[in-house]
Structure 1
Amino acid sequence: MSPLADRYGRRFPYLRLSVTPACNFRCTYCLPHGYHADANAAAALSLPEITRLLQGFTQLGMHKLRLTGGEPSVRKDLADILRTAAAVPGITKLAMTTNGTLLSQRLHEWMAAGLNAINVSVDSLDRAVFARVTGHDRLDDILHGVDMALAAGLPTVKLNAVLMRDVNDKQLPSWLEYLRDRPVGVRFIELMQTGDNLPFFREHHVRAQALETELITLGWQALPRAADAGPAREYRHPDYAGRIGIIAPYSKDFCAGCNRLRVTASGDLRLCLFGEFGIPLRPLLQSDDQLEDLVRAVGGQIGRKEQGHFLHEGRTGITPHLASTGG
């Protein structure tokens, strides 16, 4: 079958699959009061359901998979999920986004299961600021896990930091020092409005463009974007081992390069992180003989994907917070 493409010519080799909505952090911009389970919510996809889902998406040209949450490591069968995904023909890049709380304990188990790329959420290199943002004083252990990943030769190691006015938006010097000798990518993500964070967003939103301008002034140069890359605009500098990425969802034409689809933990296809609807795929994941129906259903829905999000209009779709969809 031909690779999945929408009516604007965009192709989608990249799937972000949430394996749980639960998270053990309480970040100010996402779950400030912590995660509270909804007794009426559907259970997360089982391992057989995940296997069938991935088999269907690889038939549609998906070859990069990112496991997200919530926090994926709260699933006790995470290594089994990684092993299963790595065994699906067609998946060449198996990534995960994590808060890193179990990284130093489980890194080698995850790598043995097939993980070859990781993004760790580190919103500040200042221990006090990190604890204030996340609700947990775990920065030192998480950074130790990052260093372990580098020492173990994990092919891709990146850190994610959500930019927040008067919280961490003036910390570029410490990040540059961190990147001088570490071959990691740091991605600064512009704070996004969601369904339940409007007061926080209004107080702390800062455009990423100022940081991007500062990088260029300091001699950082933009890199070409890979076909299966995430949304970051990446920069490099000859004096630094690491790279910097800027994710600016409010910038002009941000959605023009969209190459990813999302599936929630309970099996709903989301054509956009801030879309107005989800498409339930779970009924098509109950037996192996439903594969053709699954492929047909996903292919038939891609025409409903909008050209861009509506964040500039304050429309956040059905995403109450980033943990609900996988960020």
Structure 2
Amino acid sequence: MILHDNWGRQFRYLRLSLTDVCNMRCDYCLPDGYQRTHDDSFLDTAEAVRLVAAFARLGTRKLRLTGGEPTLRRDLPEIIRRGKQLPGIETVAVTTNGLKLGRHLESWREAGLDQINVSVDSLTPGNFALITGHDRLQQILQDIDQALADNWRLKVNAVLIRGQNDRELPAFLHWLRERPLTLRFIELMRTNDNADYYQRHHLRGETWLRQLVQQGWEELERKEDAGPAREFRHPDYAGRIGFILPYASHFCASCNRLRVSARGDLHLCLFTEQGYSLRDLLQHDDQQDELCARLQRLLENKGEHHPLLAEQSGGNRHFAAIGG
């Protein structure tokens, strides 16, 4: 049995947020830093594993652990290890801002982690500090190089921001030439908290995509468990480039991922008005059948498209809330 919706889409990819706390202050997400808005605690280790086990029974093959910043959870290695051991889970990945990347590589390897995504929105130290609130670019880049030397599968995410990193395409290409990783450019998306920022800084990703195609980059076939990025390769580069373009037509047609917040709410889309609580069915191992039935039933509520083209952001205050 595979999770599916009324539009014929199958869901084999779970993005599980472990916390909405973040230790960066990115302009487009948490410019004033983390502000606690809930009294409920985050899912504990056992609850998280029970959740992933139910998704695995329903065909999920890829698990991404995200946040907020998941490295702020001391039990992250244990969640990685137990998630990877679940029957059906083939890939476990972590998305991190990279501030603590170097100190975790060894424990993540021992736990069985398959892939790391690191956010690097600029290769210029001043721009990086302006965007994130941290002057730590060089340390993060050094840790990325160490991870590559250790043969980690790496993706690097950069949000496109007009007026801040929109002239850095040549620098990104130079950096990618000798590094065997996937560099993904993400189009800035509107949330409830960043509407004014979005209007000032939104940059259409197709602008850079067209430049790269003219330079000989060729699009790759999309894999079944891949995320939303369109990926490209070039014979002169060790790395690949991906584009996540949520405002493009048919973006939602290939959706294969579901999100669960750090407090156990299922979000059928990043921009839905509400989440559906699953936590009452995460307390005991013998609740798996009921949890699986609820998950499939809730999929009947998933819409065909996200509301961004109608300039609506649903209930998403910021990306840290449900894992971006």
Q: Deviations over 1:251-297 (max 9, x none)?
A: 01000000000000000000000011211000000111100000000
- What's 1:210 paired with? 207
Q: Which runs of 5+ in 2 are unaligned?
A: none
Q: Which position in structure 1 is the counterpart of 2:115?
A: 117
- Identity value in percent: 51
Mapped to 1, the partners of 2:104 and 2:63 lie a distance apart of: 19
1:11-70: CA deviation from partner (whole Å, max 9, x where unpaired): 1000000000000000000000000223x4311101110111011000100010000000
Return the letter of the residue paired with 2:98: G
Match of 1:199 in 2: 196
2:236 counterpart SS class? coil
Within-5 A mapping of 1:71-150: 71-150=69-148
Secondary structure of the residue that 1:137 maps to in structure 2? coil
The runs of at least 4 aligned residues of structure 1 exceeding 3 Å deviation read none
**Is 1:255 paired with 2:252?**
yes
Q: In structure 2, give the amino acid aligned to 1:31.
A: L
Aligned to 1:31: 30
Aligned residues: 324
TM-score by length of 1: 0.98
What does the per-residue CA deviation read over 1:151-176, in whole Å, with 9 as the maximum and x for residues that have no partner?
1111x201000001111011110111
Q: Give unpaired runs (5+ residues) of structure 1.
A: none
Give the Cα–Cα distance (whole angstroms) in 1 for the partners of residues 253 and 264 of structure 2. Answer: 26
1:1-327 aligned within 5 A: 2-38=1-37, 40-154=38-152, 156-327=153-324
Q: Aligned partners of 2:72 and 2:285: how far apart in 1?
A: 27
Distance 1:50 1:13 in 2: 17
The residue identity in structure 1 corresponding to 2:267 is R
Determine the C-alpha separation between the residues in 1 that align with 2:294 and 2:10. Answer: 17
The whole-number CA distance in structure 2 between the counterparts of 1:234 and 1:310 is 24
What displacement does 1:145 show? 1.2
Q: TM-score, normalised by structure 2?
A: 0.99
Work out the CA distance in 2 between the residues paired with 1:97 and 1:133: 18
